[in-house]
Structure 1
């Protein structure tokens, strides 16, 4: 324990890698939630373990229409493994029952319905005593291709939709966080993300979720070249320029950041279904990874003066699209936990 003196921010694993990218012809099957919980609970490094999980409100893990009885069972299953729940992901996309935030009235209503269901579950989990912190995560559910057809009108429409989502979140005393992922219109670059946050203008209800893998791609401007900070052929061995670019990026987005994902990225993009040109998560020790996880997390978790922020009471590992063969190895989760501990050691605190 003396090697890891800090207890905050709490360390969470994401459950959704058991669902995202799984299923379908030729693909690995979904990994059941209980298996994800078991693997999370079993991980251990230097006597330290994960504190909790963040979850996706989507079948087969947790239905967005889960009953109170089902949520009570979920709370019991999580608690029995010595874990808690933090942030939850609302399935706001069209294929999962939602719709684009820049869509027509029916699509916007579907988006907001999913936000309301997500907030309902999040509040219930708080009341059950299994969720002491965390946000409800969403994005714009609008493709970049559709957004660029009329940027000003679409950005305004998305902002109006998210303002309505904030009203819903206030009813449930929840906070919403938009994940900065380049495949979603209106937030495909850091400048557009800041613009959207400012247009919504409800920092008490709506903030930013920084995922280290996705925000790395903000530097390169894949879906918005006009907002690139670094060239796409950037030499990642130039640590000084990378640090300067991260400083510029985080200066703009850190004041809005209320949820944080530790992750690794090799600075390449790929498309999967509606996720066009999105980031490729890597394992923390991937030789192609471009992030120095502990160091680079500090740009988000410390302020301009280098003081530790305490905005995020927990941080979560996010790594999707790994084969089940990799995900079912205990060493995978131990290496991830070690990376999480390195961030907590460098930028954590005690209470």
Structure 2
């Protein structure tokens, strides 16, 4: 039996939607994703909740109060809570580029407003005790690079307006550390953008699979941390790189994804050169999941940050055949339990 009960362990629902569709495999319904999450169990320990993508067919960003109540009821019925939400800020989903035209930026903020409304409703229903609303810049690095200074200023302005909207709902926004988003595609660039926003309710969402690629300078070679001739069996150099990265970004981190990466990139369209998530047990995984999670979850003096009350597994782009196997989710849960054993704490409930 595990002594630590925090951070709570969440599964992401969006792997059932991301990368699925007409050109790929069919989406996996939210009901199925909830069932897969609820049914996972390792040594009597189960997932505590799931994080939610506000995107059809899982949840409409324009959901009615009744629809939101139904989602809350789905979670409660399986003894799960809901945590962080993903706002669909991208152009194809009704949003727009954070550094785009006035109209595009207004659409971006509107999507954040809608997401924060749902977040607040779920909180009021008692099913969402903690979590953030995730955003990104909704633009590619090449477009950003046409004028880095002006474009960072525009992104910061849009994020600032979004933060002010989120504050009205009692919410915080977390900028996703994924290398496919302009103004967020390098670790120093990400910090510059966050500093330019200058709002207390914005932070960083660290995903172990995505942030690993910051070390390699994909999409931002001048911010590469690991040497050009780096070999993955050089654990000492990797550890030093992870410490450099996490020391810089940890103070900003308000949401955390446990994940694995094989050191390669994958993607197309707006998700160009993004991190390839691996299964928790993948022998090609480059991360020691419980050890490397600690660089994010502990300060440089070894004390726990306790900046967030739950952590979430992210495994986008898994084939449906893999996702429908109970072993997949038990392996993931087992990895997260190890993270909590090493870097968690206990609170009376």
**TM-score over 0.5 for the pair:** yes
Q: Which residue of 2 aligns with 1:65?
A: 62
Q: Partners of 2:87 and 2:58 in 1: how far apart?
A: 13
Q: How far 1:232 sits from its partner (Å)? A: 5.1
Q: Which residue of 2 aligns with 1:259?
A: 255
**Which digits, 9 at most, give the CA deviation of each residue in 1:291-339, with x for residues without a partner?**
0000000000000100112111000000011111000000000000001
1:178 to 170, 175, 178: 175
Q: How does 1:197-276 map to 2 (within 5 A)?
A: 197-202=194-199, 204-231=200-227, 233-276=229-272
Indicate whether 1:280 and 2:276 are aligned.
Answer: yes
2:151 to 112, 136, 154: 154
The alignment yields a C-alpha RMSD, in angstroms, of 0.7
Q: How far 1:137 sits from its partner (Å)? A: 0.3
Q: Partners of 1:64 and 1:211 in 2: how far apart?
A: 24
> Where do 5+ consecutive residues of structure 1 fail to align?
none
**Which digits, 9 at most, give the CA deviation of each residue in 1:10-61, with x for residues without a partner?**
0000000000001113x21100000000010000000000000000000000
Q: Which residue of 1 aligns with 2:295?
A: 299
Q: Which residue of 2 aligns with 1:325?
A: 321
Indicate whether 1:136 and 2:136 are aligned.
Answer: no
Q: Partners of 2:330 and 2:229 in 1: how far apart?
A: 33
Q: Partners of 2:215 and 2:329 in 1: how far apart?
A: 28
Q: How far 1:272 sits from its partner (Å)? A: 2.2
Q: Which residue of 2 aligns with 1:8?
A: 6
Indicate whether 1:54 and 2:51 are aligned.
Answer: yes
Q: Partners of 1:304 and 1:231 in 2: how far apart?
A: 23
Q: Partners of 1:126 and 1:234 in 2: how far apart?
A: 45
Alpha-carbon distance change, 246 to 81 in structure 1, aligned in 2, over 3 angstroms: same
Moved more, 267-276 or 105-114: 267-276
Q: Partners of 2:176 and 2:311 in 1: how far apart?
A: 14
Contact 2:46/2:333, CA 8 A, preserved across alignment: yes
Q: Give 4+ residue runs of structure 1 displaced > 3 Å after superposition.
A: none
**Which digits, 9 at most, give the CA deviation of each residue in 1:210-256, with x for residues without a partner?**
00000000000010000000135521111111111011001110000
Q: Which residue of 2 aligns with 1:20?
A: 18
Q: Which residue of 1 aligns with 2:87?
A: 90
Q: Which residue of 2 aligns with 1:313?
A: 309
Q: How far 1:166 sits from its partner (Å)? A: 0.8
> Where do 5+ consecutive residues of structure 2 fail to align?
none
Q: Partners of 1:173 and 1:110 in 2: how far apart?
A: 21
Query: Could you state the TM-score of these two structures normalised by the residue count of structure 2?
Result: 0.98
1:108 to 78, 85, 105: 105
Moved more, 234-243 or 277-286: 234-243
Contact 2:139/2:270, CA 8 A, preserved across alignment: no
Q: Partners of 2:194 and 2:250 in 1: how far apart?
A: 12
Q: Give secondary structure in 2 for the equivalent of 1:221.
A: coil
